[in-house]
């Protein structure tokens, strides 16, 4: 076995492109392991951890240098692989843009010149550079969506104040989802066009609400993400309020929907004051927050993401909110019956949730809390229930696989299922596990063929433990490139119990455990 | 602008970062353009703040500098012997390309050319003698750029060498450059054999008097601005391709040579020499750029480059706003196509004042105008256009006379702005010849080189300092 490395000075590729190349390289014959990364301090740590670090080469390299390390059977394999890597990079570089020209401008200013009328800058570079790029875009008069995280709070304040004064949007930092004029940006779904306008400080929360509205037969005018930190005290909800005002003034928006984790109370007051000025119906959910302030301001508070979406859809279609609430109550009763029917067939006693969406993970914990109490998690509602080791489930456990400990050096679980699939079979092998609860987020940005990942994993789990209940909900629409109905049918065939929403899936799982525990 | 305006517009996205997002948007039929982004290069936050604070002042200074560059009118007015013509020239002074350098740090080709020049001047009989003299301290060295001159490759100018005189008619300043010796084993690539010295002697004794007379017979001189503009339309970028420029010069000068030279044989040999050397015009496009840019020196606050030059060891630049101050860093080895028998192992790091053409917005900046030499940049005309398009991103303006036919006659990218180089991490792209790293060998290839970032970082800091 030989370990060889190279440094390419000043060769920059984004992390996703590098992961694509790495994946292809690792699949080549004779290659035991490889690392292809930019030379940041963090990446160097990862390479060191993988025992691929070559100090005499890599010590000198910095952020703008490409590091390559190959562990292979022989020198010959290394040489052959290098030629292939070069080809892979060439293919990445020369990817054709629309219109046949392959000119890629090197800067935002060059891009604006090449694409007249450009109006949104979507930024996903490393956090410490993202602020400067965003400011350049704002100065050019573009609205900004910052997918990047790890942007300083000072930069966020500066950007949002500047944007506010210029009448521009800054969605993010750490904004995963937005839909502007029907265009899905980053992790987003294909929705029916309609008159529900959404402001959200939560990415998967927004995806769950907007897809359910669309699936309920209503539609979306705009879905504006703000990034989770916007509603904290330091930022003061600058963009959340600006976006509410824009939707209030938008003739195509009839119903306004607000989605967030509980805002800071000073921000909550501002939002409440703003609601009072809006003539359109407002439906809101501050996941885990007190609904009273919303209701006092004249808004309708949803208790779950699903309920919020269903109410918004009903308002959009001119249906009565009371009818709609009754329907939801009936559905809840139905789920209890379903739970009663399923409980006698299952083995074990524990609930294990494996989530890719952070807000969905929160919502499940909230719903279950009322039925079976707090649940252990790497992102718990109650800090006392924090797992000592995120990799080891204890009792009832719900894991957010999108948290940092799982995503450093690995793509997000919505793209890369390998970790979740491994945990699915691990949990199936634990005889005490009664239920596996899973979310599946579709749309752009997510894995394009989730059946190819989940079906083998579910089949394997069912082989290990035929009585194991796999309960799953899909956040997505039939318009999404993956097609929700097709995925649902495929997973049902693989033995999963498919529920219409994360709330419904959580209620079913919670009720089964409640019955098992005799509560 | 209000957020609501966006709701009624077609969404058009600039994507900076993950290309998967670009692909998804394109899949949805959305207009999207990917930024080929790189992290910005490391300058101090203090300098960034000073430059940001002085934005308007720098823009104003640059506008002034650009206007001077655009108004410049280089004209070939005559010739002279270096000693009598170049300001500050002395018998024991040897001018070289690039930023200042001592004999000890000189690269192989520069040393070779110094040896050749000392033999040519009769100051040494053998290469060994020349080398000893060169290192003795009796010979002084200075950059061409500090004497209003430019020299390709090693750029060696010694006292007896004939030089072109190119005048910027608008502003009155002049620039000087030696005669181009042709390709292969030549002094400027560090060769110093008998044939090299003999050719230099011929240039001095035969070529110079004939050409001087012919040039001086033009009442208004020869308009180089016009000639360069035409050459660009004919497939030159006037750095690595000068075939059209040389032809245009030949057309202009041939009748004058016939008229002013009594010795038919000498006249024919001079014309044959020009005709046989496609790069003859380079030694005119260079001083044309030099006298045009020199007029734009010393404008306080201007972040535009007036010099990029290499001496085979260091790469140096000067800004208008910091005038005579050099900012340097190690020169890089070019990416090149090599003559048979040579490889990158043989190549000397980048060398020559000819990057004055790029500083002037020509050469690599105008490579889209020269489809015949695209094999240096990837092989397709599209590659060449992409290089020029990228250079627009670091140029403060565009030329009003020099145009690129393939870009619908868009003006060449003019006025390299060190701010853009730093902010966008794009360094200038330079066409170049490649010299052997050892003295006495000569040219081994030709290709392209990206300027190193270090001099630009220093210049950015230097400009900030000048403004603080």
Note the pLDDT tens digit of each residue in A160-177: 999 999 999 999 999 999
Average the pLDDT over A187-192 and give the result.
96
- What's A199-224 look like in SS3? EECCHHHHHHHHHHHHHCCCCEEEEE
Biggest CA-to-CA distance, chain B: 82
Chain B closest-CA separation from residue A214 CA (Å): 18
CA gap A217, B82 in Å, rounded: 86
Biggest CA-to-CA distance, chain A: 73
Q: Do residue B10 and residue B112 come from a single domain?
A: no
Are the CB atoms for A473 and A501 separated by under 8 Å?
yes
Q: Which residues of B touch A256 (CB under 8 A)?
A: none
| pLDDT at site B375 | 75
Q: Would A41 be classed as within a structural domain?
A: yes
Pick among B7, B368, B457 to test the A interface (most A CBs inside 10 A)? B7
Domains: count for chain B? 3
Q: Do residue B355 and residue B425 come from a single domain?
A: yes
Q: Do residue B259 and residue B206 come from a single domain?
A: yes
CA gap A132, A127 in Å, rounded: 10
pLDDT tens figures, B237-263? 999 999 999 999 999 999 999 999 999
Which of A121, A141, A173 is a domain's end point?
Answer: A173
Strand partners, A120: A143, B13
CA gap A120, A135 in Å, rounded: 13
DSSP assignment letter at A228: G
Q: Which two tokens stand for residue A80?
A: 């052959």
Q: Do residue B56 and residue B24 come from a single domain?
A: no
432-451 in chain A: CB under 8 A from chain B: 444-445
Q: Do residue B15 and residue B57 come from a single domain?
A: no
Contact call for A123 and B36, based on CB within 8 A: no
| pLDDT at site A229 | 96
316-345 in chain B: CB under 8 A from chain A: none
Which of B225, B260, B287 is a domain's end point?
Answer: B287
User: On the CB side of A325, how many CA atoms lie within 13 Å of its CA?
Assistant: 7
For A387, phi then psi, to 5°, come to -65, 140
Cα→Cα distances A40→A21, A71, A86, B199, B273, Å: 18, 21, 21, 54, 55
- Looking at chain A, the whole-number percentage of residues with pLDDT higher than 70 is 97
CATH number, position B276: 3.90.1710.10
pLDDT tens figures, A373-384? 999 999 999 999
Q: Do residue A376 and residue A492 come from a single domain?
A: yes
Are the CB atoms for B151 and B352 separated by under 8 Å?
yes
Are the CB atoms for A375 and A397 separated by under 8 Å?
yes
Q: Which residues of B touch A14 (CB under 8 A)?
A: 17-19, 37
CA gap A214, B398 in Å, rounded: 51
Question: Is the pLDDT score of A103 beyond 80?
Answer: no
Contact call for B14 and A137, based on CB within 8 A: yes
Interface membership of B385 toward A (CB under 8 Å):
yes
CA gap A69, A54 in Å, rounded: 8
34-63 in chain A: CB under 8 A from chain B: 63
Q: Do residue B21 and residue B105 come from a single domain?
A: no
Q: Do residue B105 and residue B153 come from a single domain?
A: yes
CA gap B435, B113 in Å, rounded: 11
Q: Do residue B200 and residue B277 come from a single domain?
A: yes
- Looking at chain A, the whole-number percentage of residues with pLDDT higher than 90 is 71
Q: Would A100 be classed as within a structural domain?
A: no
Are the CB atoms for A44 and A54 separated by under 8 Å?
no
Order the strands of the A66-72 sheet from edge to edge.
Answer: A2-8, A66-72, A31-38
Q: Which two tokens stand for residue B457?
A: 């970082």
Let me know if B22 is exposed, middle or buried by CB neighbors in 10 A (0-12, 13-18, 19+).
buried
H or E element: which one contains A489? helix A484-493
Q: Would A104 be classed as within a structural domain?
A: no
Secondary structure of residue A62 in the 3-state scheme: coil
Q: Which of B91, B84, B234, B247 is nearest to B162 (CA)?
A: B84
Q: Do residue A342 and residue A392 come from a single domain?
A: yes
Q: Would A326 be classed as within a structural domain?
A: no
Q: Do residue A251 and residue A372 come from a single domain?
A: no
Interface membership of A89 toward B (CB under 8 Å):
no
Q: Do residue A59 and residue A70 come from a single domain?
A: yes
Which of A263, A296, A319 is a domain's end point?
Answer: A319
Q: Which residues of B touch A185 (CB under 8 A)?
A: 13, 21, 25
Are the CB atoms for A254 and A220 separated by under 8 Å?
no
Are the CB atoms for B218 and B317 separated by under 8 Å?
no
Contact call for A122 and B14, based on CB within 8 A: yes
CB contacts < 8 A, A to B, total 184
Q: Do residue A160 and residue A183 come from a single domain?
A: no
Contact call for B1 and A141, based on CB within 8 A: yes
Q: Which two tokens stand for residue B375?
A: 């094999």
Contact call for A104 and B385, based on CB within 8 A: no
Interface membership of B392 toward A (CB under 8 Å):
yes
Are the CB atoms for A115 and B14 separated by under 8 Å?
yes
Q: Which residues of A touch B426 (CB under 8 A)?
A: 106-107
Entry field: residues in chain A: 519
Q: Do residue B12 and residue B98 come from a single domain?
A: no
Q: Do residue B56 and residue B84 come from a single domain?
A: no
Residue A207 or A43, more confident: A207
Question: Is the pLDDT score of A10 beyond 90?
Answer: no
Q: Which residues of B touch A92 (CB under 8 A)?
A: 19
Q: Do residue B274 and residue B318 come from a single domain?
A: no
Q: Which residues of A touch B11 (CB under 8 A)?
A: 119-120, 180-181, 183
Residue B180's contacts (CB-CB under 8 Å, 6 or more residues apart) are: B152, B277, B279, B280, B281, B282, B283
Question: A173: cis peptide before it, omega within 30°?
Answer: yes
- What's chain B look like in SS3? CCHHHHHCCCCEEEEECCHHHHHHHHHCCCEEEEECCCCCCCCCHHHHHHHHHCHHHHHHHHHHHHHHHHHCCEEEEEEEEHHHHCCCCCCCEEEECCCCCCHHHCCHHHHHHHHHHHHHCCCCCCHHHHHHHHHCCCCEEEEHHHHCECCCCCCCECCCCEEEEEEECCCCCEEEEECCCCCCCCHHHCCCCHHHHHHHHHHHHHHHHHHHHHHHCCCCCEEHHHHHHHHHHCCCCCCCCCHHHHHHHHHHHHHHHHHHCCCHHHHHHHHHHHHCCCCCCHHHHHHHHHHHHHCCCCCCCCCEEEEEEEECCEEEEEEHHHCCCCEEEECCCCEEEECCCCCHHHECCCEEHHHHHHHCCCHHHHHHHCHHHHHHHCCCHHHHHHHHHHHHCCEEEEEEEEEEHHHCCEEEEEEEEHHHHHHHCCCCEEEEEEEECCCCCCEEEEEEEECCCHHHHHHHHHHHHHHC
| pLDDT at site A92 | 67
Q: Which two tokens stand for residue A121?
A: 């800058």
CA gap A309, A362 in Å, rounded: 17
Pick among B11, B13, B14 to test the A interface (most A CBs inside 10 A)? B14
Q: Do residue A454 and residue A487 come from a single domain?
A: yes
pLDDT classification of A94: cutoffs 50, 70, 90? low
19-58 in chain B: CB under 8 A from chain A: 19-21, 24-28, 30-41
Contact call for B18 and A444, based on CB within 8 A: no
Q: Which residues of B213-246 are buried (b: 16+ CB within 10 A; e: fewer)?
A: bbbeebeebbbbbebbeebbeeebbbbbbbbbbb
Which of B267, B287, B307 is a domain's end point?
Answer: B287
Q: Do residue A309 and residue A455 come from a single domain?
A: no
| pLDDT at site A16 | 67
| pLDDT at site A50 | 79
Q: Do residue A179 and residue A250 come from a single domain?
A: yes
Parallel, antiparallel or unpaired: strands B140-143 and B93-96: parallel
Question: Is the pLDDT score of A12 beyond 80?
Answer: no
Strand partners, A199: A224, A258
Parallel, antiparallel or unpaired: strands A282-286 and A300-301: parallel
Question: Is the pLDDT score of A96 beyond 60?
Answer: no
CA gap A169, A122 in Å, rounded: 12
Q: Would B40 be classed as within a structural domain?
A: no
227-256 in chain A: CB under 8 A from chain B: 242-243, 245-246, 249-250, 252
Q: Would A230 be classed as within a structural domain?
A: yes
CA gap A476, A483 in Å, rounded: 8
| pLDDT at site A465 | 96
Are the CB atoms for B127 and B115 separated by under 8 Å?
yes
| Structural domain of A75 | 2-93
pLDDT tens figures, B191-207? 999 999 999 999 999 99
- What's A361-420 look like in SS3? HHHHHHHHHHHHCCCEECCCCCHHHECCCCCCCCCCEEEECCCHHHHCCCCCCCCCCHHH
Residue A2 or B103, more confident: B103
Q: Which of A303, A192, A301, A204 is nearest to A257 (CA)?
A: A301
Q: Do residue A87 and residue A57 come from a single domain?
A: yes
Are the CB atoms for B444 and B347 separated by under 8 Å?
yes
Cα→Cα distances A11→A37, B39, B391, Å: 10, 10, 18
pTM of the model: 0.73
Q: Do residue A152 and residue A188 come from a single domain?
A: no
Secondary structure of residue A282 in the 3-state scheme: strand
Which of A319, A349, A383 is a domain's end point?
Answer: A319
Which of B287, B316, B345 is a domain's end point?
Answer: B287
Q: Residues B185, B188, B193, CA angle at the centre, nearest 5°? A: 40
Let me know if A306 is exposed, middle or buried by CB neighbors in 10 A (0-12, 13-18, 19+).
buried
CATH number, position A478: 3.40.50.261
Q: Do residue A169 and residue A181 come from a single domain?
A: no
Q: Do residue B319 and residue B274 come from a single domain?
A: no
Q: Would B292 be classed as within a structural domain?
A: no
**What residues in chain B have per-residue pLDDT under 50?**
none
Average pLDDT, chain A: 92
Question: Is the pLDDT score of A100 beyond 50?
Answer: no
Q: Would A447 be classed as within a structural domain?
A: yes
What is the residue whose two structure tokens read 């596990």?
A: A433
Are the CB atoms for B436 and B190 separated by under 8 Å?
yes
Domains: count for chain A? 4
What is the residue whose two structure tokens read 């909900």?
A: A473
Parallel, antiparallel or unpaired: strands B140-143 and A497-499: unpaired
Q: Would B281 be classed as within a structural domain?
A: yes
pLDDT tens figures, A238-273? 999 999 999 999 999 999 999 999 999 999 999 999
Its sign, for the CA torsion A84, A88, A91, A94, is negative
Q: Which two tokens stand for residue B430?
A: 């330079």
| Structural domain of B24 | 3-35
Q: Would B94 be classed as within a structural domain?
A: yes
Q: Do residue A387 and residue A456 come from a single domain?
A: yes
């Amino acid at each position: 076995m030989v370990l060889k490395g190279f440094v390419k000075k000043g060769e920059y590729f984004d992390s996703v492109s590098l992961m694509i190349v790495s994946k292809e390289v690792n699949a080549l014959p004779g290659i035991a392991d490889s690392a292809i990364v930019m030379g940041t301090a963090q990446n160097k740590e990862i390479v060191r951890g993988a025992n691929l670090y070559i100090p005499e080469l890599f010590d000198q390299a910095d952020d703008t240098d490409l590091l390559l390390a190959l562990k292979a059977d022989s020198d010959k394999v290394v040489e052959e692989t290098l030629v292939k890597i070069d080809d892979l990079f060439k293919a990445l570089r020369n990817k054709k843009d629309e219109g046949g020209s392959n000119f890629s401008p090197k800067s935002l200013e060059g891009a604006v010149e090449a694409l007249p009328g450009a109006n949104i800058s979507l930024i996903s570079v490393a956090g410490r550079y993202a602020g400067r790029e965003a400011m350049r875009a704002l100065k050019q008069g573009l609205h900004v969506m910052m997918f990047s995280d790890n942007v300083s709070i000072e930069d966020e304040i500066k950007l949002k104040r500047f944007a506010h004064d210029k009448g521009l949007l800054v969605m993010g930092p750490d904004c995963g989802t937005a839909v502007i004029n029907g265009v899905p940006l980053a992790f987003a779904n294909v929705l029916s066009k309609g008159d529900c306008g959404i402001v959200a400080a939560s990415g998967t929360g927004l995806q769950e609400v907007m897809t359910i509205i669309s699936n309920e037969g209503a539609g979306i005018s705009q879905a504006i993400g703000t990034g989770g930190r916007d509603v904290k005290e330091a930022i003061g909800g600058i963009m959340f309020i600006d976006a509410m005002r824009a939707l209030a003034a938008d003739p195509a928006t009839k119903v306004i929907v607000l989605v967030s984790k509980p805002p800071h109370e000073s921000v909550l007051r501002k939002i409440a004051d703003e609601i009072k000025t809006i003539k359109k119906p407002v439906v809101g959910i501050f996941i885990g927050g007190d609904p009273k302030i919303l209701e006092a301001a004249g808004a309708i508070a949803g208790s779950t993401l699903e309920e919020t979406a269903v109410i918004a859809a009903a308002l959009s279609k001119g249906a009565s909110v009371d009818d709609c609430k009754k329907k939801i109550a009936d559905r809840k009763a139905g789920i209890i019956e379903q739970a009663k029917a399923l409980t006698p067939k299952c083995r074990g006693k524990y609930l294990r949730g494996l989530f890719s969406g952070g807000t969905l993970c929160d919502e499940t914990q909230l719903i279950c809390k009322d039925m079976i109490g707090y649940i252990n998690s790497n992102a718990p509602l109650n800090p006392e229930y924090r797992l000592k080791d995120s990799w080891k489930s204890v009792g009832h456990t719900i894991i957010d696989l999108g948290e940092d400990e799982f995503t450093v050096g690995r793509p997000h679980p919505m793209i890369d299922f390998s970790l979740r699939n491994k945990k699915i079979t691990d949990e199936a092998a634990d005889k005490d596990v009664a239920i596996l609860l899973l979310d599946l987020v579709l749309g752009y940005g997510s894995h394009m063929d989730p059946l190819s990942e989940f079906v083998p994993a579910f089949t394997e789990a069912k082989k290990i433990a035929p009585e194991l209940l796999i309960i799953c909900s899909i956040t997505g629409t039939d318009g999404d490139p993956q097609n929700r109905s097709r995925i649902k049918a495929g997973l049902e065939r693989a033995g999963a119990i498919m529920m219409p929403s994360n709330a419904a899936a959580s209620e079913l799982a919670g009720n089964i455990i409640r019955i098992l525990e005799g509560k | 602008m209000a957020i609501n305006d966006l709701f009624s517009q077609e969404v058009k996205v600039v994507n900076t970062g993950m290309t998967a997002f670009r692909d998804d948007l394109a899949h949805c039929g959305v207009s999207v353009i990917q930024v080929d982004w790189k992290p910005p290069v490391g300058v101090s936050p203090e300098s960034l703040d000073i430059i940001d604070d002085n934005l308007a002042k720098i823009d104003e200074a640059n506008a002034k500098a650009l206007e001077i560059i655009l108004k410049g009118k280089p004209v070939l007015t005559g010739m002279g012997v270096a000693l009598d013509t170049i300001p500050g020239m002395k018998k024991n002074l040897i001018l070289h390309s690039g930023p200042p350098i001592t004999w000890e740090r000189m690269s192989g080709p520069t040393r070779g050319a110094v040896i050749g020049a000392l033999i040519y001047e009769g100051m040494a009989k053998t290469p060994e003698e020349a080398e000893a003299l060169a290192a003795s301290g009796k010979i002084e060295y200075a950059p061409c750029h500090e004497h209003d001159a430019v020299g390709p490759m090693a750029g060696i100018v010694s006292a007896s060498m004939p030089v072109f005189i190119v005048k910027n008619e608008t502003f009155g300043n002049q620039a000087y450059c030696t005669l181009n010796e042709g390709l292969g084993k030549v002094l400027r690539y560090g060769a110093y054999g008998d044939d090299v010295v003999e050719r230099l002697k011929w240039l001095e004794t035969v070529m110079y008097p004939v050409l001087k007379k012919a040039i001086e017979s033009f009442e208004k001189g020869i308009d180089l601005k016009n000639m360069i503009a035409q050459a660009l339309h004919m497939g030159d970028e006037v750095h690595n391709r000068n075939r059209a420029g040389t032809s245009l010069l030949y057309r202009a000068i041939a009748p004058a040579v016939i008229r002013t030279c009594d010795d038919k044989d000498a006249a024919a040999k001079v014309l044959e020499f020009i005709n046989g050397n496609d790069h003859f015009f380079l030694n005119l496009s260079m001083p044309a750029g030099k006298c045009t840019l020199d007029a734009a020196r010393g404008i306080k606050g201007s972040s535009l480059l007036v010099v990029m030059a290499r001496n085979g060891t260091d790469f140096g630049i000067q800004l208008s706003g910091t005038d005579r101050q050099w900012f340097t860093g190690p020169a890089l080895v070019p990416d090149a196509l090599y003559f048979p028998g040579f490889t990158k192992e043989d190549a000397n790091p980048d060398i020559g004042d000819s990057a004055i053409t790029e500083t002037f917005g020509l050469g690599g900046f105008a490579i889209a105008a020269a489809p015949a030499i695209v094999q240096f940049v990837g092989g397709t005309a599209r590659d060449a256009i992409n290089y020029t398009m990228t250079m627009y991103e670091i140029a403060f303006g565009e030329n009003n006379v020099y145009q690129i036919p393939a870009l619908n006659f868009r003006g060449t990218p003019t006025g390299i702005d060190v701010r853009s180089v730093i902010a966008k991490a794009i360094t200038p792209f330079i066409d170049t010849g490649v010299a052997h790293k050892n003295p006495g060998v000569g040219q081994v290839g030709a290709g392209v080189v990206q300027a190193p970032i270090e001099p630009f970082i220093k210049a950015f800091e230097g400009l900030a300092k000048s403004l603080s």
